[in-house]
Amino acid sequence: MPLNYLGTLLVDGTDKTPGWFYIKNYGTPLLAAVLAKMYLNGSSNTWQRDLHGKVYIVTGGTSGIGAPLVRELALRGAQLVLLTSQLKSDNSGAVWVTDYVDDLRNSTDNPLIYVEECNLSSLYSVRKFATKWLDNRTARRLDGVICLASERMPIGKSRQVSVDGVEMQMAINYLGQYHLLTLLEPCLKAQPPDRDVRVILATCMSQSIGTLDLDDLLWEVKRYPSGRPWKMYGSSKLMLHMFAKEYQKRLENAGRKDKQPCNIRVNVVNPGITRTPSTRRAISMGSVLGLLVYLLLYPFFWIVLKPCEYGMQSFLYALCCPDLIDISGGQYIRECSVVKTKLRKELQDDELQKNLYDLTARKISELEKKSAIERNRGKPDGNKKKDKRQKKDEMQKKDKKGLTEEDKRGIFMSAFDTEDELQNYKARNANTDDAHSTQLRRLDEKYEATHKKS
C-alpha cells in the first residue's frame, strides 16, 4: 500500500495523489509534533540487569513515576517492599492497596511484592517502620532504597502542615526521606562487601530556584509563599540533594568493620518534566477550573511533558548501570547520564552540607520528643514507668499481720521442699481442686509455724 501510494505520487503527480491536500496543509505540523515528542521524551536506559533475589524498599511506588518503575523492577525479578501511608486504621485505603498489589503480582508473575505502613509526613511512623525492619537477629538483605515519594502544593493554597507541625512539602520531600535513610543506615552498612547497594533520591529542576536558610531551616518563621509554592518545593529538593552528598561522604568515612571499601552508592536522579499526578495538580492549581483548562490544553501538555514510562528511565539507569559502582556516590543523573557540569554552589560546599545534616538531625530529635509528649498526654494511666512504680509500692505494702506480698510469696515458695516439687505442682496439679487444697494446708502449717516463731 505505501509503495503504490508513493508510485502514484511520483508518476502521476500530486494532483492524482489521494489526500494530498491534507498532507500539504497538516503534514509538516504533524511531523514537527512527532519529532518534538520523540525529543522531549528524553533518553532511554539501555542497561540490562537481572534483579532476581535483590530486595528494594520503595517510597512512592503506587503512583506517578513509581508505578511503572515498580512494575519494571518486578518484571526483572526484584523483591519489593512498598512503603505507603494508605494503610490507615479506618481501612479506607487498604482495599485499594491490596488490589493494586494483587494486580501487580499477577501481571508480573512476581509474588515477592509487599506493602508496609510508613507515612513520610510522620516522623513517628517512619521510626516505627525502620525499627520493625531493623528488629532482626541478623541484618535483612537490602540491595537499595528508592525514594520517589513527593508532595507538590498547587498555587494559592494555604500552608499545609504534617502531624509534627512541619510544612507538608518539607516534611515529605526532605525530612521524611532523611529520617528513613539515616535510620536504615545500620542495615545498609551490614550488607556484604560484594553486594551492590544503591540508594536513589528523586529531585527535579525546581531545586535551581530553592533557597537554604540555616536560621529558619523548616520555614517555621518565614511566611509560606502560597503564591509561589514551587519555591518551597524547590528548597526541599535542594536540601535533599545536599543531604545525599553528605550522606554518601559519611558512609564512606565511617568505613566497614571488615576493612573493605564502601559498597553503598547514594545518587540523585532528575527524571525531567513528567506528566505525574503532582505535576497535573500543580498545573491545574488544585481547582476544577484549572483541571478544565488542563484538559483543554492536554494535547500541548502531552507533547511537552514526559509520560511516566519515560520519566522512570533515568532511575533504571541509576539502578542498572554497572559504571556507577566504580565511581564515588553523590552523582547527579539526568537523561540516563551523569551530569558533569558545575552545579549550584550549595552542592559544592562540604561545610554547608555538614551543617545542614547536623542541624536537621537536631530538628528531628526535637520534633520527635515533642510528638512523644503529645501522644502520651492523653493516656489515662500514664506511662509504663508509673505503672511499674505503683505495682512496686503495692508489693511493699504490709497487711494487718505485718507481712508484705513479697513475704507471703516467700512463705508460699517455702512450702515446697525442692524446685522439682514446685515445677511438678505447676505442671500436674495447677488446676485441680484436690491438689490446691493439699498445698493450701501445707501453706497454712508453714504460715502458723512462722508466726509463732516471730
Q: Which one from 237, 245, 249, 306 is the annotated catalytic residue?
A: 237
Pairing assessment for the beta strands 337-338 and 332-334 based on DSSP bridges: antiparallel
Paired strand residues for 338: 333
Choose among 191, 259, 208: nearest CA to 55.
191
Helices (H), 77-160: 94-108, 123-134
CA-to-CA distance for 16 and 8, rounded, in angstroms?
7
How far, CA to CA in Å, does 332 sit from each of 33, 198, 344, 348, 419? 30, 14, 12, 12, 68
CA-to-CA distance for 112 and 105, rounded, in angstroms?
8
**C-alpha cell, 325:** 559502582
How far, CA to CA in Å, does 73 sit from each of 56, 77, 85, 163, 332? 9, 7, 21, 32, 22
As a 3-state breakdown, the chain gives helix, strand, coil percent values, each rounded to 5, of 55, 10, 35
Phi, psi of 187 (to 5 degrees): -70, -40
| Contact call for residues 87 and 117 (beta carbons, < 8 A) | yes
Q: How many CA atoms lie within 13 A of 429 on its CB side?
A: 13
Angle at 201 between CA 177 and CA 223, to 5 degrees: 55
Q: Which residues of 381-394 are buried (b: 16+ CB within 10 A; e: fewer)?
A: eeeeeeeeeeeeee
In the residue annotation, 237 being an active-site residue is answered as yes
Helices (H), 202-329: 229-254, 277-284, 288-296, 298-304, 308-311, 313-320
CA-to-CA distance for 202 and 187, rounded, in angstroms?
21
Pairing assessment for the beta strands 79-84 and 113-117 based on DSSP bridges: parallel
Please provide the DSSP assignment of 157-197 as one string: PPP-B-TTS-BHHHIIIIIIHHHHHHHTHHHHHTS-TTS-E
Provide the annotated active-site residues.
Answer: 237
